[in-house]
Structure 1
Amino acid sequence: MQRPYNERMVDSAHRTSRADQRRQTEARILAVARQVFSEYGYDRATIRAIASKAKVNPGLVIHYYGSKERLFAEATRTTPDEPIAGPPDQVAEQLLAALHAKLTEEPTATLAMLRSMLTHPEAAHGVREALRHQQRQISLGLSADDALLRTALTGAITLGVVVGRHLLQLDGLRDASPEQITDLLRPCLESLTRSPAEEPSAER
């Protein structure tokens, strides 16, 4: 016998409400985990600490994410930057725009990887692969014999600026505006992303 329409609607609303609650709880746990990993790194962060800050039982964290390793993988998953391509001046501006975004808002997922990379192999692998991907993109437009060195330097510089501002909080770098930082870096990145044949001559 079919149940009344009102009862079916109540059951449907109840199931939807429970599904929404689950999604909200998962999202809250993930956001807290991202922050805890970025503050303490993989080794020092604990499921208990994450659960406490997310106001849930530690067992629920494991129920949703399975393990600390899997939670870390989800918390450090990042959206790739826009592809880098074009003439050297455009490449430099794209790098500076990506850096500007990381300086404007604290990139917690990226910081979680950076703080963890010296002690956690998965984090080190993630950082290394992201930099290699950037190197491959930039090197496509370079005809220099030292293209690999140039692209490695661009990655090291931008990575170092993010670490210096957000993790080390270096004087000057910590309080400078993103515009100040990117303006100072522009000549350096333009030089690195330009092939030697395109460099202005000494006489100029």
Structure 2
Amino acid sequence: MDDRLPRAERRRRTEARILDEARRLFAERGFERTTIRAVAAAAEIDPALVMQYFGSKQELFSKAVKVTPVLPEHAEPDEIVEHVLATIGLKMGELPQSTLAMMRSMLTHPEAAVSARESLNGQIDRIAGLVKTDDARLRAALVTSIMLGVTVGHQLLELDALREAEPEDIARVLRPALRALTITGQ
């Protein structure tokens, strides 16, 4: 570490290094098998420093898996569908470490499930705000669940049919179902 850097910059770099290593380890091992000591060793710092920056393993996990929303604020139903389908290429490719960490841990660790639920509920809220039906929240939850299922099937379960399919083919097959869920009156 360069001691000539301002203290705030050194701190920011250390925090980023801890988060990068935490994402990698949570993605590889899940929440239960990732330890503060392992994160510290990977980041080449003292474990006490990880605790100083993040306070707890749960807080480290929450920060490491935080995903920023990418859905536009205003969109028509067809735009919602195309936006959701545009993410298939990402879901079929190499996912960010934060996403893999969340997926591996959300079914086995209660705090990870809370983080996943908060993130998914945020996505549901954003989609529901764009869908103009009385049951918009249900429709948005179904769209989100479908995409989550496709991602889990491809990334974690490695289902042959999904692994062998081109993202464009998956999008083509899903498009009518997603349109039916997002267009008013259907």
Common fold by TM > 0.5: yes
Relative to 1, partners in 2 of residues 1:53 and 1:191: Cα closer, same or farther, differing over 3 Å?
Answer: same
Q: 1:116 to 1:144 in 2, by over 3 A?
A: same
Provide the secondary structure at the position in 1 that maps to 2:87: helix
Partner of 1:137: 126
- TM-score if structure 2 supplies the norm length? 0.81
- Partners of 1:137 and 1:26 in 2: how far apart? 30
User: How many aligned residue pairs are there?
Assistant: 185
1:38-82 residue CA offsets vs partner (Å, 9 max, x unmatched)? 222212211122233333333332333332122112111221122
Q: Distance in 2 between matches of 1:93 and 1:178?
A: 13
Residues 61, 100 of structure 1: CA spacing in aligned structure 2 closer, same or farther, 3 A cutoff?
same
The percentage of counterpart residues that share the same residue type is 50
Superposition TM-score, scaled by structure 1 size = 0.75
Stretches of structure 2 lacking an aligned partner (at least 5 in a row): none
Matched, 1:104 2:87: no
- Higher mean C-alpha displacement, 42-51 vs 59-68: 59-68
Q: Which amino acid aligns with 2:97?
A: T
Alpha-carbon distance between aligned partners in 2 of 1:122 and 1:194, rounded to the nearest angstrom: 35
Map of 1:202 onto structure 2: none
Amino acid at match of 1:118: L
Displacement of 1:143 after TM fit?
4.9
SS at match of 1:174: helix
Stretches of structure 1 lacking an aligned partner (at least 5 in a row):
1-12, 200-204
Q: Structure 1, residues 126-184: CA drift from partner, whole Å, max 9, x if none? A: 32233333333333454545544322211111011111222222223234443332233
Moved more, 28-37 or 147-156: 147-156
Cα RMSD for the two superposed structures: 2.7
